[in-house]
């Protein structure tokens, strides 16, 4: 007699696209913010969590980081827009 025991194994990902590849192969589910990836024309779908879960997005960077001009402008724009230090 043989049987297979399916044990849920949590994982993590840094790129949602990579997670969708695993989901398409039937390897599990991915949790993300809605509309981060286009699911049109695929067999993927999104479902809201119940009850809803809310989070505050945040940015982090290394202390004393030397930024490119583009990164400096991006960070400055965020700081002005959201009045952060």
Q: Which one is predicted more confidently, 73 or 4? A: 73
Task: Report the Cα–Cα distance between both ends of the chain, in Å, rounded.
Answer: 64
Q: How many Cα atoms are found within 13 Å in the side-chain-facing hemisphere of 35?
A: 0
Mean pLDDT of 16-44: 87
pTM of the entire predicted model: 0.54
Would the pLDDT of 1 be above 60?
Answer: no
Q: How far is CA 17 from the centre of its chain?
A: 9
Model pLDDT, residue 31: 85
- Distance between CA atoms of 41 and 78, rounded to whole angstroms? 34
What's the pLDDT score for residue 73?
95
């Amino acid at each position: 007699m043989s049987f297979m025991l399916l044990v849920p194994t949590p994982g993590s990902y840094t790129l949602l696209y990579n997670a969708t590849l695993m989901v398409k192969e039937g390897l599990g589910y991915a949790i993300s913010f809605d509309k981060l990836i286009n699911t049109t024309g695929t067999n993927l779908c999104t479902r809201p969590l119940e009850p809803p879960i809310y989070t505050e997005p945040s940015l982090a960077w290394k202390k004393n980081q030397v930024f490119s001009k583009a990164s400096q402008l991006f960070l400055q724009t965020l700081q002005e827009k959201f009045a952060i230090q």
